[in-house]
Amino acid sequence: STGAVKMQPKAEELKFVTKNDGYVHIHPSSVNYQSRHFESPYLVYHEKIKTSRVFIRDCSMVSVYPLVLLGGGQVHTQLLKGDFVISLDDGWIRFVAASHQVAELVKELRCELDQLLQDKIKNPSMDLCMCPRGSRIIGMIVKLVTTQ
Separation CA 115–CA 144 (nearest Å): 19
6, pLDDT greater than 70: no
Region 107-118 average pLDDT: 94
Element counts in the chain: helices (H) and strands (E): 3, 7
pLDDT at 14: 76
Output DSSP code: residue 94: E
- For the stretch 53-99, pLDDT in tens is 999 999 999 888 888 998 878 889 989 888 899 998 888 888 899 88
pTM above 0.85, yes or no: no
Q: What is the percent of the chain where pLDDT is above 90?
A: 35
Other CB atoms within 10 Å distance of the CB of residue 67: 15
The set of residues, in sequence order, having a beta carbon less than 8 Å from that of 68 and lying 6+ positions away, is 75, 86, 88, 95, 106, 110
108: helix, coil or strand?
helix
